Structure formats: C-alpha cells, structure tokens
Amino acid sequence: MRNIAAILLVLMLMAPAIADEKPIVLKQAAGRDAVEGNCAACHSLDYIQMNAPFLDAAGWDAEVAKMIKAFGAPIDEADAKTIAGYLKTNYGR
C-alpha cells in the first residue's frame, strides 16, 4: 500500500511538468512519417531540433548511421535514406 501511495505522489508531482510540455511538431515534408515512425520509437523528437544548428548533410548521415550501427535502431536501408534526406533538407545547416 505504501508503494502505491508513493507512486501516486510522484505522478501527481509530475503532472504539472507534463502538462506544460509542448509536443514536438516536425516540419511537414516528404519523409516526416519515416522520421516520426522510426526515430520517436526510441527517443524524443526534440533531439532533431536541438541538433539542427550543429549538423550539416554529412552530420545527419553520420547521425542516422550511428543510430543504426551503434545503438541498434531497427531501420532498413530505404528508411535510413528517407530519414537522412528529410533531416538534411529540413534541419541541416
């Protein structure tokens, strides 16, 4: 019973923070569905907006490759190209 009360307390304390959080909306363009479907499965999409000022086309290619090779993201080659293309076109510097 004590654990349930503690969990409820934590959830109640988190509610205001969650309520203020605005959803990330990526730019509408070809490839957005592939990004949302693959990338958001493992992490928040705010990483895209946070990294955009620092990554050029080569940087986004490397980032997509890292997610697949280093972190094991289950993204097939066609989706990887679509994702990288979307990121380079819409969030590259």
Residue with tokens 């290619």: 61
Nearest to 35 by CA among 75, 72, 93: 75
Residue with tokens 């907006």: 49
The per-residue pLDDT for range 17-69, each reduced to its tens digit, is 555 667 889 999 999 999 999 999 999 999 999 999 999 999 999 999 999 99
CA dist 35 and 30 (Å) reads: 10
pLDDT of residue 56: 97
2: confidence class by pLDDT, cuts 50, 70, 90: confident
CATH of 23-91, one of 3.40.50.300, 2.60.120.280, 1.10.760.10, 3.40.50.2300: 1.10.760.10
Contact between residue 82 and residue 34 where contact means Cβ atoms under 8 Å apart: yes
pLDDT of residue 5: 76
pLDDT of residue 20: 63
Q: pTM (2 decimals)?
A: 0.76
Contact between residue 43 and residue 50 where contact means Cβ atoms under 8 Å apart: no
82 has a pLDDT exceeding 70: yes
4: confidence class by pLDDT, cuts 50, 70, 90: confident
Nearest to 92 by CA among 30, 49, 44: 49
Rounded alpha-carbon distances, angstroms, from residue 42 to 10, 12, 15, 16, 93: 24, 25, 22, 24, 24
